[in-house]
Structure 1
Amino acid sequence: MSDDIHALSGAYAVDAIDDVERAHFERHLAGCPDCQAEVASLRAAASQLAVLTESAPPPSLRAKVLSEISKVRPLPPLTAPQTERGDDTLQPSAPDAEDSAAGASTTGVPIGGTDQRDAADELGERRRSRSARLGRGWRLVVAAATVAVLAIGGFTVWRQVNTDPTRVIADQVLAAPDATSTAKRFPDGSTATVWRSESLHRAVIVTSKMADAPNGKVYQLWLQDPTGHMASAGVMPPGPDQVVVLEGDASKAKGAGITVEPPGGSGQPTSDPIALFAFA
């Protein structure tokens, strides 16, 4: 068990301690606001891992990490108390100059009686202070290790927090093993491609250099069911290059389409489709 009970906060947060340490730490935790706050923050970070999906980091990430390494000044290693061979009990290190001074009088004559006890108390206090400093160092090491464990999925956490949720869905569809695509090239050279994953029940349209809808109109997306009925799948935002998740269950659809509609869209198509995408 750690000599510094505070150092167990990181391991406790990720359930990496045994039953004895857990019981000991929980008794301490009940009366330590600092540890309560630290455990709560680490558990909040760890809870994000349960909702993650795998996502490859961008190619630039490796180069950025390698370039930053040379700018980071490493901390010196911590020095732990030495142990005697074959003995698991920590042994005190050799007394330093302050400890030696505490064991002798100013005249060089050994101190006795009450003075000796006072000197022993002072020596013990200094050793406890030194142990506390070392314990705080180890606590930082444990906290850093805990952060490293959480950081295994940290990049994905960052992506999910800082990315539009619909874009996360789009990435999943585009990367799905069963994803299929069908594309349409327009006379002006622009393209629109619809990707569908039956296992994810979703479809995504990806446009490139697509012209804006006519003035006062919008592009509306549709999913066509096996009977031929067209169900609205949302309105496309303006812009030539878009990645849009179609609304609705695409797993049973036999195709998708784009029509030109009034602002806000229509309940049913009011114009002939400018593009139809048949699903395989």
Structure 2
Amino acid sequence: MSDTAVLIGLSADPVAPPADLKARLMAQIAVTPQLAPLPAVRPTLTAVPAVTTPQQDASAEAIRTASLGTPTRASTKATARWFTRPASILVAAAAAVALFVGGNILGLSAGNESQQQAAAISAIVAASDYQQAKADVSGGGKATFVWSVGLKKSAVVIDKLPKLAGGKTYELWYIDTASKATPAGIFDAASSGRTVSVLAGAMTEGDTLGITVEPSGGSKTPTTAPIVAVPSA
């Protein structure tokens, strides 16, 4: 697992952390529930008199074993927690590196995407066949699409996407080589200025990733021309 953590750390170019990273980490730690410490279990040793015969040696060893006692439930848990801690730390570190790298490649920061979205984008960015493309959005905004054909997943990050009037929504599409459009979810422009959305469903090699403006609730087929479309091939 240590080798995996190192490979993850070396899989991307170094990125300078945001100035507010420490403050955000400390704020998250402050609201994360912590396990209470387990009570310390200290064995009580019984004094053993000096012995001079093999029989007495054997008796002394029995006394020492008895004085230590059998492991308690608390001591067993403490031992298990201690020996599993390094692996847990490595797994958490690897996940944190993946989220940090994936977020910084696209200029994301905590607060403008959900944990699920961040994890999905990080998986896409970490894929060996990861690709991305940028395109201007008709009506305003600039979109960055990311995808992995191997994972059959894609996502989009849009800067300065305009908010729509009531009764309208943005809808994502997979458009195959036969021009058949498959709905991949609806979303609204984020108030933060950067909108993040992971396309639903499975992507197929050669699909075009597109966005249209549709009636609230979405449509089964596009009712307007795409405001942005990016071919994956």
- Hey, what's the Cα distance between the residues in 2 that align with 1:165 and 1:152? 20
Structure 1 residue 129, shift from structure 2 partner: 6.4
Equivalence map 1:96-245=2 (5 Å):
127=64, 130-132=67-69, 139=76, 140-141=78-79, 143-155=81-93, 164-186=115-137, 190-239=141-190, 240-245=193-198
Contact 1:193/1:207 (<8 A) preserved: yes
1:223/1:255 contact within 8 Å kept:
yes
**What's 1:272 paired with?**
225
Question: SS where residue 69 of structure 2 aligns?
Answer: helix
Asked if structure 1 preserves the Cα contact closer than 8 Å seen for 2:158 and 2:194, the reply is yes
Say if 2:169 and 2:215, in contact at 8 Å, map to a contact too: yes
Number of equivalent positions:
175
Q: Which has the higher strand share?
A: 2
Q: 1:107-154 CA deviation, whole Å, 9 max, x = no partner?
A: xxxxxxxxxxxxxx9x99984564239x66985455412333343324
Q: Deviations over 1:191-211 (max 9, x none)?
A: 111112111111211112211
Percent identical among aligned pairs is 23
Q: Provide the rounded CA distance (Å) in 1 between the counterparts of 2:217 and 2:88.
A: 43
Maintained 8 Å contact 2:124/2:151: yes
Aligned-residue offset at 1:189: 6.1
Tell me what 2:204 maps to. Answer: 251
2:163 and 2:188 in contact (8 A); partners too: no
Which TM-score applies when normalising by structure 1? 0.49
Secondary structure of the residue that 1:168 maps to in structure 2?
helix
What stretches of structure 1 move > 3 A for 4+ residues in a row?
Answer: 58-61, 123-130, 135-143, 154-160, 163-167, 186-189
Give the whole-Å Cα distance in 2 for the aligned partners of 1:260 and 1:189: 13
Q: For residue 227 of structure 1, report the CA deviation from its aligned partner.
A: 0.8
**Residues of 2 paired with 1:124 and 1:254: CA distance?**
74
CA contact (8 A) 2:157 2:196 kept: yes
TM-align CA RMSD: 4.3
Question: Which one has a bigger Cα radius of gyration?
Answer: 1
Q: CA separation of 1:218/1:188 partners in 2, compared to 1, >3 Å: closer, same or farther?
A: closer
Between the aligned partners of 1:164 and 1:279, the Cα distance in structure 2 is: 26
| Structure 2 match to 1:45 | none
Q: Which amino acid aligns with 2:119?
A: V
Residues 260, 188 of structure 1: alpha-carbon distance in 2 compared, 3 angstrom cutoff? closer
CA contact (8 A) 2:138 2:227 kept: no
Does the CA contact (< 8 Å) of 1:170 and 1:244 recur in 2? no
Greater helix fraction, Structure 1 or Structure 2: 1
Question: Which stretches in structure 2 are left out of the alignment for 5+ residues?
Answer: 1-6, 10-14, 27-41, 50-58, 100-113
One-letter amino acid of the structure 1 residue matched with residue 162 of structure 2: A
Q: 1:264 to 1:156 in 2, by over 3 A?
A: farther
